[in-house]
Amino acid sequence: MSKILPIVSRYHVFKHRKQILKNPIPFHHDNFNRLGDIFKVQVGLGKEIVFTRHAGFIKQVLQKEHRKYQKSALQTVDLAKYIGHGILTANGDHWKTHRRMVQPAFHRQKLQALLRTMHGAIAHEIDHIRPNELQDVYPLMGDLAFQVVAKSLFSRDDIQKEMGELKDITEANQRMLIKEMRQPYLNWWYRLSGKIGHHLQRSQRARDLLTQIIEQRRAGNKEYDDLLDMLLKATYEDGSSMSQKQLLDEVLILFTAGFETTANALSFTLYLLAKHPTAQEKAYQEVLQAKVKDGFSMETLGQLNYVKQCIEESLRMYPPAYYIDRECIADDEIEGYAIPKKTMLLLAIYELHRDGQFWEKPNHFVPERFETANKRDLSDFYFPFGAGPRMCVGNNFAMQEMVMALACILQKYKVRYTGEEVRLNPLISLKPERVDLYFDAR
């Protein structure tokens, strides 16, 4: 006989609705502390979601029994209506086919070819930092990450206006989607009042902007070794190319998933290094030893081990994908609990990454825990990019970009902490509200 899952009632959810809308992490942290590593939340009439921070359960869902689980309607319906059906928002054969087509863009050889493009975009954005002034890091890192994705996709310097508009649309639609997810009892009003319709119109505007850029590429005879060229050349097994709609879906998803998660991670990493000047100095000395002024190669990036460890520790403490959603498509069981078909699950990566069962001093910034000798013991409870077949396709791209960006910043500036603790702003990914730091010129 299966054990009964603890329940968070609809009344308890409604009572804390304002807190949940602003930041649901403390609410669910309290639930985990009260009820244990697995519980279910009643979110509507007859609708329940299973929450878990249980390491074995998360590994089972993402890896061992991944065929019994798929992306939930949060992504395949709610998010997809704004950014389309691509590798982030699709399931089944559609996902497998397009994952296979997109994957080659992120192979080591392709990433190596993008190093100069990435470095140029990073260096240009770092020039916008105002030395010796207090600044909010997040907008700086947002612009940096967005330009890296834009240049890696399009290899153009004359579309800043279009890219700025695309960035604004992406962020506005995400804020709308979060309201829909956290206030499902108001979705009737969002539809009736035209709010959802307005944001769908903005999504169409984003697609129109991208269509114009893609058509200009197709009309030209020049080839570029960038991500757009790869997508244009990608073919199905029968030799046919992606439709225009599918191409737009994949490009929009690369933007959405590619720039914001990186911006979040870089902002949190700079905050943590500012709070821990000894770690920052160690990273800076490594950057000097690597001679990044001479440019970046795969070998140069490989020398920045401690810089990478700082990023990995930041991803542990502030994972961009702080919750991962799944839906059970075949009956399963974990720890004596039955997980029936059609159950929706939220895997609490933020909670797992700070679980004292697995991490010594879990709330402390300790990059050394990611030294090579230690890393083999972490794979069962460290999932910054997910795990299994649906692990983030761009994880190597993102890590390469973040190591390079952090090295370039530390080379020019010492980041200084103000004493102000970071406040979280969890949206689709885990964002900081503000990260105010000083950049002291070296």
Close Cβ partners of 415 (under 8 Å, ≥ 6 residues apart): 270, 273, 274, 280, 409, 437, 438, 439, 440
CB 311 within 8 A of CB 402: yes
Q: What mean pLDDT comes out for the span 383-411? A: 93
Report how far residue 56's alpha carbon sits from residue 424's, in angstroms, rounded to the nearest whole number: 27
Residue 124 has pLDDT above 70, yes or no: yes
The predicted pLDDT at position 65 comes to 92
Residue 376 has pLDDT above 90, yes or no: no
The predicted pLDDT at position 254 comes to 84
Residue 226 has pLDDT above 80, yes or no: yes
| pLDDT, averaged across the chain | 90
Nearest to 261 by CA among 71, 134, 62, 397: 397
Tokens of 279: 């770690």
Q: What is the pLDDT confidence band of residue 1, given thresholds at 50, 70 and 90?
A: low
296 domain residue, yes or no: yes
Q: What is the pLDDT confidence band of residue 270, given thresholds at 50, 70 and 90?
A: very high
357 domain residue, yes or no: yes
Close Cβ partners of 208 (under 8 Å, ≥ 6 residues apart): none
Which domain does 50 fall in, by range? 7-441
Reported as type and span, the H/E element at residue 8 is strand 7-8
Residue 14 has pLDDT above 90, yes or no: no
Report how far residue 382's alpha carbon sits from residue 223's, in angstroms, rounded to the nearest whole number: 40
Residue 221 has pLDDT above 80, yes or no: no
117 domain residue, yes or no: yes
The predicted pLDDT at position 113 comes to 83
pLDDT tens-digit profile of 140-175? 999 899 889 888 888 877 888 888 888 889 889 988
pLDDT tens-digit profile of 35-69? 999 999 988 777 889 999 999 999 999 999 999 99
218 or 2: which carries more pLDDT confidence? 218
Q: What mean pLDDT comes out for the span 182-205? A: 90
Planar angle of CA 298, 302, 304, nearest 5 degrees: 125
347 or 45: which carries more pLDDT confidence? 347
CATH assignment at residue 50: 1.10.630.10
Report how far residue 377's alpha carbon sits from residue 341's, in angstroms, rounded to the nearest whole number: 32
Q: What mean pLDDT comes out for the span 220-249? A: 85
Query: What does the DSSP 8-state code read for residue 422?
Result: P
- Which range of 86-100, 103-117, 118-132, 348-362 scores highest in mean pLDDT? It is 348-362
The predicted pLDDT at position 149 comes to 87
- Which range of 80-84, 96-100, 173-177, 283-287 scores highest in mean pLDDT? It is 283-287
240 domain residue, yes or no: yes
Q: How, if at all, do strands 7-8 and 430-432 pair?
A: unpaired
Query: How many folded domains does the chain comprise?
Result: 1
The predicted pLDDT at position 216 comes to 87
157 domain residue, yes or no: yes
The predicted pLDDT at position 327 comes to 95
One-letter amino acid of 243: S
Q: What mean pLDDT comes out for the span 303-311? A: 96
Residue 258 has pLDDT above 90, yes or no: no
pLDDT above 70: percentage of residues in the chain: 99
Close Cβ partners of 287 (under 8 Å, ≥ 6 residues apart): 304, 307, 407, 410, 411
Residue 283 has pLDDT above 70, yes or no: yes
- Range with lowest mean pLDDT among 49-53, 210-214, 316-320, 352-356: 210-214
Q: What mean pLDDT comes out for the span 181-195? A: 87
2 domain residue, yes or no: no
1 domain residue, yes or no: no
Tokens of 368: 């050394």
